[in-house]
Amino acid sequence: MITEREAIAAARASAKSTGSSKAMNCAEFQRELPLIIDSGGSPEQEKHLRSCAVCRSLVDDLRYIAEQAKLLVPMFDPSPRVWEGITEKLQQEGLVKPFQARRS
Amino acid sequence: MVKSNDDLRLCIVFSNALAWRGGIYLVIRKAADDDTQFQPVAETAVPAAALHDDAKGPLLSIGKKILTAGISEAQAIERAQQGEGESFETLYGMHKRRVYSLCLRMTGNTAEAEDLTQEAFLQLYRKIATFRGESAFSTWLHRLAVNVVLMHLRKKGLPEVSLQETLEPSEEDGPKKDFGANDQVLAGSIDRVNLERAIESLPPGYRIIFVLHDIEGYEHNEIAEMMGCSIGNSKSQLHKARMKLRDLLRVVRAERGAVKK
């Protein structure tokens, strides 16, 4: 199984061998994007991002999705059946005495 | 700060109040004896609909309802460890929403989420005596719930993460020629409902990683450990999940635009 460090080293080596004398293209940038999007890229990758509207739009969207996901609070309530099932099971196992019926 | 009938000093903290358009998220804290800090007593999400008619009434009534137990989380844990059933019920009340939301988002299925929530709390009850407080109780319970869901998915034979997957992108992950530079970015166009729906429609493997990392805040090394995959694999799956969500949300936005025209 490939480790993260090996993957980054391989990606960098690949970028050097294929494009050391010319600017990084979209395919090269997007191939490495999973590894750098949350941590920031190399100067070469940042340079591509500044000059390429397509990749910039992609990165902006992916970061925006991640930001919006962080705002999703736990807002779903389980039905009363869940608590009833828990108490029933615990009483069957003899782990607790019968609970006072406080919930409907 | 408000005072309750029990003369407890309380502080209600609004978290994500501005960002969450569906309502507000409340964390209710009680002052410690030495006044140096506020301990969390309960938390709840309050939908916007509950706030429109009377901004004061619903908030206070919700606060009172939650606080009827009248004990802190730490006290409830201690008593539950001694086998007191009602304290366990208090812990259930404090954490049911977070655990159930996690199960629902990871499975995308209400019935399964309810069964898994039940199983997570049953395991909690059986294991609570082993909780030693090295981590926060909510962190401990949450990890337990994630493990319950993952175990369930393994039993079902659903793919979590393809172990054969490498960092080489598939064709669908390549540059999107059809998304030109003049396309609008998504910023400002996503609402919570559409995002929740899009997440629900993700393939299970993508959905699990996305929920664990982007919603629940687990790091890639933690996810890799829980799921038995590499960190690179976790990053790759997360990236594919976000790409898929981007596609889904752009379709939603395009459909909205078409309706307006």
Specify the pairing of strand B38-47 against strand B9-15.
Answer: unpaired
Closest by alpha carbon to B118, among A70, A23, A14, A83?
A: A83
Specify the pLDDT at position A99: 58
One fold for B72-158 and B171-260? no
Count chain A–chain B contacts defined by CB atoms under 8 A.
168
Higher pLDDT, A58 or B185: A58
3-class DSSP state of B41: strand
- Summarize pLDDT for B88-140 with one digit per residue, the tens: 888 999 999 999 999 999 999 999 999 999 999 999 999 998 998 888 999 99
This model's pTM is above 0.80: no
Per CB-CB distance under 8 Å, the chain B contacts of A11 are 167
Please state which architecture CATH assigns to domain B72-158. Answer: Orthogonal Bundle (1.10)
Q: How far apart (Å, rounded) are the C-alpha atoms in residues B3 and B5?
A: 7
Task: Locate the domains of chain B by residue range.
Answer: 1-70, 72-158, 171-260
- Summarize pLDDT for B197-220 with one digit per residue, the tens: 999 999 988 999 999 999 999 999
Task: Locate the domains of chain A by residue range.
Answer: 4-70
CATH code that applies to domain B171-260:
1.10.10.10
B213-230 exposure pattern, b = at least 16 Cβ within 10 A, e = fewer: bbbbebebebbbebbebb
CA distance B34 to chain A (A): 31
Torsion sign, CA atoms B144, B145, B148, B154 = negative
Contact between residue A29 and residue A49 where contact means Cβ atoms under 8 Å apart: yes
Please state the ipTM of this predicted complex.
Answer: 0.72
Query: Residue B38 above 60 pLDDT?
Result: no
Residues 6+ apart with CB under 8 A from A90: A96, B85, B122, B125
Q: Which of A60, A72, A83 sits opposite B192 (nearest CB)?
A: A72
Query: Residue B82 above 70 pLDDT?
Result: yes
Question: What percent helix, strand, coil does chain A show, rounded to 5?
Answer: 65, 0, 35
Q: Which of A61, A85, A96 sits opposite B85 (nearest CB)?
A: A96
Closest by alpha carbon to A5, among B167, B69, B244, B257?
A: B167
> How does DSSP classify residue B173?
G
Assigned token pair, A9:
């080293």
